[in-house]
Amino acid sequence: ETGVTQTPRHLVMGMTNKKSLKCEQHLGHNAMYWYKQSAKKPLELMFVYNFKEQTENNSVPSRFSPECPNSSHLFLHLHTLQPEDSALYLCASSQAENTEAFFGQGTRLTVV
Amino acid sequence: AQKITQTQPGMFVQEKEAVTLDCTYDTSDQSYGLFWYKQPSSGEMIFLIYQGSYDEQNATEGRYSLNFQKARKSANLVISASQLGDSAMYFCAMREFRDSNYQLIWGAGTKLIIKP
C-alpha cells in the first residue's frame, strides 16, 4: 500500500458535472497539498492544508473547492469545469511544510 | 522570471552509464532547499534527494547524488550506473519561504530515456 492514495485514477466528466477527487495519506503527516500538472508546464500548487487549516490558495478558480475533514483526508470538489482544466491532479503530503512531500499517483482528469 | 531552469527537455543515455541532469535556480534567500523528484509513466512523483542551502556536503542517496554549486546556483542530479527503470521525467524543485508559507517552485522537467 502506498503512503498517499488517490481515487479515482482516471475521470472523464462533462462541463456541467459535479465530481470529487479523494486523497488519503497513511503517513501521519500534517500537511497536504493539491497540485495541477498540465502538459509541458511546471507543477502548479493549488491548495495547501496544514493541520487541517488551509494555508495557501494560489488564485485557483472557485470551480475547484478543497475540503480537508481531517489530517489524513483531502478532497477536491469539481463543478462546471472547463476543457482547459483537463490535467493530472496530484495530491501530496509532508510531515511539515518545509519537509519533503510524498505524492500519490494522481487523477488523470479529462473535461469534455 | 523563471526560478527553476531545467535546460534539457529530453535525454537519451546508454544503460549503465552515468547521467547528469541539470538544474539552475534563482533566489535571493539565504535559506532554501532543493529537491529532485522522479515521475515514471504511472504518474506518481517519487522523492529522490534533498539538499539544504546550508549543507556543506553534497547530498547522496544510493545511486543518486546532488552536485550542489551554490555560487553558480546549480543543483544537478547525478545518477550513477543508470538502469532501464530510471527512464522517467525528472523534476527539480526549490523550497522558498514566501508570504508566511513555504512554497515549492518546480522546473519544467527533463525526460530521461535509458537505452538498453
pLDDT, tens only, B61-111: 999 999 999 999 999 999 999 999 999 999 999 998 877 777 889 999 999
Question: In 3D, which of B115, B113, B114, B104 has the Cα closest to residue B36?
Answer: B104
- Number of other CB atoms surrounding residue A46 within 10 Å: 20
Cis check: omega of the bond before A42, within 30 degrees of 0 = no
**Per-residue pLDDT reduced to its tens digit, A11-36:** 999 999 999 999 999 999 999 999 99
B interface with A, Cβ–Cβ below 8 Å: 4, 33, 35, 37, 42-47, 50, 91, 93, 95, 97, 101-109
A53 pLDDT band (50/70/90 cuts)? Answer: confident
Chain A neighbors of B89, CB-CB under 8 A: none
Cβ-defined contact of B106 to A55 (cutoff 8 Å): no
> Chains A, B: CB contacts under 8 A, how many?
49
What confidence tens digit (pLDDT) does each residue in A84-112 have? Answer: 999 999 999 998 877 889 999 999 999 99
With CA atoms as reference, the chain A residue closest to B35 would be A100
Record: contact B44-A103, CB cut-off 8 A: yes
User: Where are the extended beta strands (E) located within chain B?
Assistant: 4-5, 10-14, 19-21, 24-25, 33-39, 46-52, 60-61, 64-69, 74-79, 88-98, 101-106, 110-115
Q: Burial of A83 by CB count in 10 Å (0-12 exposed, 13-18 middle, 19+ buried)?
A: exposed
The burial class, CB within 10 Å (0-12 / 13-18 / 19+), for A67 is: middle
Question: Residue A57 in 3-state DSSP?
Answer: strand
Distance to chain A for B52, nearest Cα, Å = 11
Question: Residue ranges of the alpha helices (H) in chain B?
Answer: none
